């Protein structure tokens, strides 16, 4: 059985425009590659996100879930629980349950990332 039909191609119009994501600046591009509906595991979603130059995902807080950012290409400035730091290709940033985070592309090139969320965590989130 071929699995080729399961592979998404971003160049075929899958990315959609999202303006002011979580109160961020500008319009970013996103594609939800995975949804929890019908799934048997605790993964809520997997998104591929493109932040054009000088756009951002605004500072926000989640509830009983964890969200992880995987920087695929480009660079930017991450805010995580009050701390700011630079991120670049290959960085993996865990955003813990009830934590506050945001990401800005302060460069002149695109910033591409994979975002995946796990939750609700239930009692497992209280152990942190």
Task: Give the residue-averaged pLDDT of 65-90.
Answer: 93
Residues of the chain above pLDDT 70, percent: 78
Phi-psi region of 118 (alpha: psi -120 to 50; beta: other; left: phi over 0): beta
Residues 110, 81: Cα–Cα separation, whole Å: 24
Assessment of whether the complete model's pTM goes beyond 0.85: no
The residue that leads in pLDDT, 10 or 4, is 10
Residue 6 has pLDDT above 70, yes or no: no
Both tokens of 80, joined, read 């995580």
CB 58 within 8 A of CB 21: yes
pLDDT at 10: 53
Residue 23 has pLDDT above 60, yes or no: yes
pLDDT at 64: 87
pLDDT at 120: 77
CB 118 within 8 A of CB 63: no
The residue that leads in pLDDT, 54 or 7, is 54
C-alpha pair distances (Å), 39 with each of 36, 44, 71, 127: 5, 9, 25, 25
Task: Give the residue-averaged pLDDT of 15-35.
Answer: 86
Q: What is the mean pLDDT of the chain?
A: 83
The residue that leads in pLDDT, 94 or 78, is 78
The residue that leads in pLDDT, 30 or 53, is 53
pLDDT at 5: 46
Phi-psi region of 22 (alpha: psi -120 to 50; beta: other; left: phi over 0): left
Residue with tokens 């152990």: 127
Residues 13, 60: Cα–Cα separation, whole Å: 28
């Amino acid at each position: 059985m071929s699995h080729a039909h399961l592979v998404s191609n971003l160049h075929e119009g899958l990315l959609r425009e999202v303006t002011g994501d979580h109160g961020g600046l500008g319009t970013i591009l996103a594609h939800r590659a995975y949804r929890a509906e019908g799934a048997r595991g605790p993964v809520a979603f997997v998104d591929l996100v493109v932040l054009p130059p000088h756009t951002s995902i605004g500072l926000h807080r989640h509830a009983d879930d964890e969200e992880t950012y995987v920087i695929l290409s480009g660079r930017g400035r991450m805010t995580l629980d009050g701390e700011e730091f630079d991120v670049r290709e290959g960085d993996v940033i865990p955003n813990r349950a009830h934590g506050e985070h945001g990401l800005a592309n302060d460069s002149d090139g695109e910033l591409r990332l994979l975002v995946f969320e796990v939750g609700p965590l239930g009692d497992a989130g209280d152990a942190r």
